[in-house]
Copies of this chain bind each other. A is one copy, B any other.
Amino acid sequence: MPRTESSTPTVRDVAQLAGVSPGTVSKALNGRGQLREETRQRVQDAADKLGFHPNQLAKSLIEGRTYTVGVLTTASFGRFTMPLMTGIEDSLGAGKVSTLFCDSRGDPLRERHYLQELLSRRVDGLVVTGRKPDPRHSLGRLPIPVVYALTQSEDDGDLSMTYDDRQGAELATNHLIAVGRKRIAYVSGPTRHLSTRLRQQGTEDALEAAGMKLDPRDVLLGEWSEAWGRTAAGILIRQAEPIPVDGIFCGSDQIARGVADGLREAGVDVPRQVAIVGFDNWDVMVQGSRPPLTTIDPNLTMLGQLAANRLLNAIDGGELGSGHILRPCDLVLRQSSMSS
């Protein structure tokens, strides 16, 4: 009896139609073995006619590779992970590798479950990501390569890749110095966030290198919000002794936008009187701000690309490496720091 064939065709269906064996179909379609051109063509025609596409599962089972990479994120699809994902896809897509997404939402139990799931599915590698203020616990030894991106593993045996907060802050501060600012303030988020501390460190280093100092009164730490930026602006305006603050490095574009609004509404001209540099290069903030913000771009997409590339390389047998890799940030110039 004829098989009730309306489902997806297999090699056997193609073989039957072409009058050859399944093995021959495989060879014909993959250009392996030695077949007569006529046979190859016949198989090809049969495959086309049936709309045959090999079952990747079966392939993976044999090859021992799934051409799939798991992405395990703690922060839900957020503003920071988004560009990272784009970068990851850039690299993986080119390598014909697909992406299995799992969002643990910060729940360790969920994370364990997803990890197990991904391992069961025999992904070839893993990218662990998520915005975390501090280094996260390691997933431990796994049979596949793992890259921690945008988040850092506690274990130095793991490979972590993040952008360089400190270097970014130095870049921002040096720019403010370069445009002639004499008293530079640092407005940022909560101290408990590592980023806040690192960026302050970078600011201090840059100032010191220029023979300047960060006045403790000019370090204002609050929340990552516009409202805090506006508040901070109000505080800074009142500190004009011995000289007024004329440059502000903000720990985020949101804060920077708040600062810009606060200053403008107090009648302070940006950038003439005060130059502002933000952090993140978050377009809605950066473009929505008046004036548009000079900012530090953490190059998240590139970070994603690099992480994925490292992973692909390791999957192909290369060395994964270990330790903490810090990728440099870039300075993006806009009006908030430069007279046009």
> Which residues of A approach B to under 8 Å, CB–CB?
7-8, 53-58, 60-61, 66, 68, 76-78, 82-83, 85-86, 89, 93, 96, 98-103, 116-117, 119-122, 143, 225-226, 254, 257, 284-285, 287-288
Choose among B7, B54, B85, B96 the residue that contacts A143 (Cβ–Cβ < 8 A).
B7
Known A-B contacts A57-B61, A284-B284; A103 and B120 likewise in contact (beta carbons under 8 Å): no
Are B53 and A119 in contact, CB atoms less than 8 angstroms apart?
yes
Which residues of chain B are within 8 angstroms of A143 by Cβ–Cβ distance? 7-8
Cα–Cα, bound, A285→B99 (Å): 31
Evaluate whether A101 and B103 lie within 8 angstroms (CB atoms) in the complex, with A57-B60, A85-B77, A119-B53 already known.
no
Contacts A61-B58, A82-B77 given; does A98 touch B98 at CB 8 Å? no
| A332 shortest CB reach to chain B, Å | 19
In the bound complex, do residue B57 and residue A66 qualify as a contact, i.e. CB atoms below 8 Å apart? Answer: yes
Kindly identify which residue among B54, B98, B102, B225 contacts A102, using a CB–CB cutoff of 8 Å: B98
With contacts A57-B60, A57-B61, A58-B61 known, is A99 near B100, CB below 8 A?
Answer: yes
Q: Quote the shortest CB–CB distance from A61 to chain B (angstroms).
A: 5
How far, in angstroms, from A96 to B103 measured CA to CA in the complex? 13
CA A257 to CA B225, docked complex, whole Å: 16
Query: Which among B57, B82, B116, B225 is the interface contact of A57 at CB below 8 angstroms?
Result: B57
- Asked whether, in the complex, the Cβ of A120 is within 8 Å of the Cβ of B53, the reply is yes
Complex Cα distance, B66 from A53, in Å, reads 16
Q: Are B56 and A121 in contact (CB under 8 A)?
A: yes
**Residues of B close to A99: CB separation below 8 A:** 100-102
User: Apart from A53-B120, A57-B122, A257-B288, what 15 extra A-B contacts exist at CB < 8 Å?
Assistant: A53-B119, A56-B120, A56-B121, A57-B61, A77-B77, A78-B82, A85-B101, A93-B103, A96-B117, A98-B101, A98-B102, A98-B121, A99-B101, A99-B102, A284-B284
